[in-house]
A and B are shown apart, each in its own frame.
Chain A
Amino acid sequence: MSELHPTPPDNDVSPSRRAQTSAEVIVASAFAAFGGYMIVEALTRLKLWSASGPGSGFLPLVAGVLLVAAGLFVVATRLRRRSPLADESEQEPSQKHGGRLVLVTMVAIAGAIALVPVIGLVGAIFLAQVVILRFGDRHRWLVALLFPIATCALVFVVFELVFLISLPGGLIY
């Protein structure tokens, strides 16, 4: 059987599969790193045990050990696996576009939040909505501008005027 369906050599691996593997390894490693941080904190800064029982570092140590063990297991399993999963090999071109779109949206939301001291929270909502409507959902510019304006007006009226909750206004109001 193995002669009829040879395992593809590493240089034949598709870019989408390589990206998926990298993403798997990065995320599992990040979880393991968080576990490592918990272990180090528990062993160096926190009390593991006291006269009355477990200290503040006991459960972080247990959770950290589980996280490191499971994270490394996932990394090892992923690196050892040679054949792509069924759903990975069938990645559609639209999902590659989706990846770029997600990146743009994440940057736009982060930028909008960072700009809150300047444009206020209502301005940040406006910015995030414009990016999502125009580039994510591909609405016309008119819709991508009018819908956020209406939303922001509603948010302003409801929070500032009805509930009297002061939203961060930035330099605008």
Chain B
Amino acid sequence: MTDFQGLLDGFATALSVENFGLLLLGVAIGTLVGALPGLGPTASIALLLPFAMTLSPVSALILLGAVYYGSQYGGTLTAVLVNVPGEVSSVVTAIEGHQMAKQGRAGLALYTAAIASFIAGTIGVVLLMVLGVTLGAFALFFGPPEYFAVYVLALSLVVTLVGKSPSKGLIAAAAGIGIGLIGTDPLTSAPRLQFGIDGLFDGVGIIAAAIGLFGIGEVLDNLYTGRLSGRPAITGLRLREMIPTRGDLRQVAGPIGRGSIIGYVVGLLPGAGVSIASFLAYGIERRRGKSRVPFGKGSIEGLAAPEAANNSAAAGAMTTMMSLGVPGSPTTALLLFALVTFGVQVGPGVFDTHPHIVWPFIASMYLGNVLLVLLNTLAVPLWVSLVRVGTPYLNAIIIALCLIGVYGSTLRMFDVWVALVFGILGFAMRRLDYPVAPMVLGLVLASGAERALRQSLIMSGGDFAIFATRPVSIVVATLTVAMIVAPFAIRAFRRRRAAAPLGKGAGS
């Protein structure tokens, strides 16, 4: 199924001096932003977008992709050594990893996490390759109605899966779509939703909005919570203890395998994301209960499974983004935005239409995983020093990067104001439990979804039945309804089950 010549050509491109240098830069930035609390991969990719836009499409994708999956490795460092997860997906790593560090097993925890990440990342890339090529066979079945159905599915999943309140998720998604529609109608060029502001004629810049929501919003949130005040206290690390014994390896083999598969499958679902993958993998290991050390007290199985899951989930999310053109998270939404800006039409068939971009990117993921396992085992003291020195100045660094990044992307001061407005909005949303992910997805998908909807209805002469008569769109629409109804049905079922014993008790 796999085009090995394409893969070999991809390795040749990825190993060019420029691309390999960008790959190295990307994995290093990814590790650092993953390790630093208060700066996530989404903010980093948003900040790097203006620079990436000056590169060739393949170089930009190699750089931005490396930041994304690199951050999944880096999150472990602070989770284990400082007990502060750099990313939400590292929360469970902190539970077991920091306990191991306190027992003098920090080196073993970091090494195990790096190996688990490497194995899972590689499994994820293999699956991305196989599934991406397989989905290419369905390219002929994908027209505007199918794309519209998939966009609706993605948004519905994000609304229902992300955040605590579906109504707030819906608000974020609808507002994101509304903001994405500001500017001019893509088919008729009629101005719309501009609030009488000239600067909005070309719409809201996605880079400005993303930098505002994730960069400035993050700084305001850091200041509000005082999260980054002071130098982090770092648990001692003895590198000599990093090498695991054969017994350790035997213990983690199963959790790594299970975590890799669970993570990849969860990562495929738009909205589920790496955090849910890591929590699910941890929960399953805990339920199995086959650990010598109790969970919560430094279980190596409880560390390996979620670490594997969050890395393969990143590859799963890339699969959905590349082969269906549907981003499942803000980070993949920004990657998609970058590709669309370069004129790359992702979706089924992308392996045939853009092999010169897809194969080098996949090859770079193999190489990136090797680089990351080296960086996260041999260079641990370097990252620890950078985290120790950089954390107290992080807010100031982020704000400088935000201002310069937004201005550099369009050379318009208007966009700097837009970023500030979105920063304030992002802060308010975080504080009031509005999920930011649906807003970014709505913003990125709005124009594509509108185009697909209108093209579909032009094809059918305005008849909405077109979405219910084509096989792929029927399947996707059914999935959408199931995904929307399922959480409510499960909640109602649980409520009824919880109420049942009370009812019996009252009766007796």
Taking beta carbons and an 8 Å cutoff, which residues of A are in contact with B?
23-24, 27-28, 31, 34-35, 37-38, 41, 45-47, 49, 52-60, 63-64, 66-67, 70-71, 73-74, 77, 94-95, 98-99, 101-102, 105-106, 109-110, 113, 116, 121, 124-125, 128-129, 132-133, 136-139, 147-148, 151, 155, 159, 165, 167-168
A129 to B407, CA, bound (A): 17
Minimum CB–CB distance from A149 to chain B (whole Å) comes to: 12
**B431 interface hit (Cβ, 8 Å):** yes
Give the residues in chain A near B178, CB-CB below 8 Å.
34-35, 38, 60, 63-64, 67
State the majority secondary structure of interface residues on A: helix
User: CB < 8 Å: which of A27, A98, A138, A167 contacts B224?
Assistant: A98
**B353 interface hit (Cβ, 8 Å):** no
Q: Which 5 A-B pairs have the closest CB atoms?
A: A56-B185, A53-B457, A98-B224, A67-B174, A66-B174
Give the residues in chain B near A74, CB-CB below 8 Å.
165, 167-168, 171
Give the residues in chain A near B228, CB-CB below 8 Å.
137
Contact A165 B408 (CB under 8 A): yes
User: CB < 8 Å: which of B167, B175, B424, B429 contacts A106?
Assistant: B424
A159 to B409, CA, bound (A): 13
**B243 interface hit (Cβ, 8 Å):** no
**B454 interface hit (Cβ, 8 Å):** yes
Minimum CB–CB distance from A85 to chain B (whole Å) comes to: 9
**B223 interface hit (Cβ, 8 Å):** yes
Given A54-B454, A105-B220, A98-B187 contact (CB < 8 Å): no
Give the residues in chain B near A37, CB-CB below 8 Å.
193, 195
User: CB < 8 Å: which of A59, A70, A121, A147 contacts B396?
Assistant: A147
**B486 interface hit (Cβ, 8 Å):** no
User: CB < 8 Å: which of B223, B400, B404 contacts A105?
Assistant: B223
Contact B223 A98 (CB under 8 A): yes
Minimum CB–CB distance from B454 to chain A (whole Å) comes to: 5
User: CB < 8 Å: which of A52, A106, A128 contacts B458?
Assistant: A52
Least CB separation from B394: chain A residue: A137
State the majority secondary structure of interface residues on B: helix
Give the residues in chain A near B192, CB-CB below 8 Å.
41, 45-46, 56-57, 60
Interface string of B265-284 (1 = CB under 8 A from A): 00000000000000000000
Given A52-B458, A70-B170, A116-B450 contact (CB < 8 Å): no
Give the residues in chain A near B175, CB-CB below 8 Å.
31, 34-35, 63, 67
Given A60-B178, A137-B228, A113-B420 contact (CB < 8 Å): yes
Give the residues in chain B near A27, CB-CB below 8 Å.
428-429, 432, 434
* Interface residues on chain B, size class: 35 or more
Contact B220 A102 (CB under 8 A): yes
Contact A99 B174 (CB under 8 A): no
Listed residue (B228, B404, B429) with the most chain A CB atoms within 10 angstroms of its CB = B404
Listed residue (A37, A58, A106, A136) with the most chain B CB atoms within 10 angstroms of its CB = A136
Give the residues in chain A near B396, CB-CB below 8 Å.
129, 132-133, 137, 147-148, 151
A129 to B417, CA, bound (A): 17
**B462 interface hit (Cβ, 8 Å):** yes
Restricting to B173-228, which residues have a CB under 8 Å from any CB of A?
A: 174-175, 177-178, 181, 185, 187-188, 190, 192-193, 195, 216, 219-220, 223-226, 228
Contact A73 B403 (CB under 8 A): no
Contact B432 A24 (CB under 8 A): yes
A82 to B457, CA, bound (A): 47
User: CB < 8 Å: which of B174, B193, B224, B454 contacts A95?
Assistant: B224
**B229 interface hit (Cβ, 8 Å):** yes
Contact B174 A59 (CB under 8 A): no
A113 to B396, CA, bound (A): 15
Restricting to B403-429, which residues have a CB under 8 Å from any CB of A?
A: 403-404, 407-408, 411, 413, 416-417, 420, 423-424, 427-429
Taking beta carbons and an 8 Å cutoff, which residues of B are in contact with A?
165, 167-168, 170-171, 174-175, 177-178, 181, 185, 187-188, 190, 192-193, 195, 216, 219-220, 223-226, 228-229, 392-393, 395-397, 399-400, 403-404, 407-408, 411, 413, 416-417, 420, 423-424, 427-429, 431-432, 434, 446, 449-450, 453-454, 457-458, 461-462
A138 to B431, CA, bound (A): 22
| A-B contact sample (20 more), CB < 8 A, given A63-B181, A151-B397 | A27-B428, A31-B171, A46-B185, A55-B185, A56-B190, A57-B192, A59-B446, A59-B450, A64-B178, A70-B171, A71-B171, A102-B220, A102-B224, A105-B220, A113-B416, A128-B403, A129-B396, A133-B396, A137-B393, A151-B400
A77 to B433, CA, bound (A): 14
Given A23-B428, A37-B193, A38-B193, A159-B413 contact (CB < 8 Å): no
Give the residues in chain A near B219, CB-CB below 8 Å.
105, 132
Contact B413 A116 (CB under 8 A): yes
Minimum CB–CB distance from B250 to chain A (whole Å) comes to: 42
Give the residues in chain A near B457, CB-CB below 8 Å.
53-54
A41 to B393, CA, bound (A): 45
Give the residues in chain A near B397, CB-CB below 8 Å.
151
Least CB separation from B193: chain A residue: A41
Least CB separation from B442: chain A residue: A63
Q: List 27 A-B contacts (CB under 8 A).
A: A34-B178, A35-B174, A35-B178, A45-B192, A46-B190, A52-B462, A53-B462, A54-B453, A54-B457, A55-B185, A56-B188, A59-B450, A63-B175, A66-B170, A67-B175, A70-B174, A74-B165, A74-B171, A102-B220, A105-B223, A124-B403, A125-B404, A128-B403, A132-B395, A132-B396, A137-B392, A151-B396
A81 to B174, CA, bound (A): 24
Minimum CB–CB distance from B172 to chain A (whole Å) comes to: 8
Give the residues in chain B near A138, CB-CB below 8 Å.
229
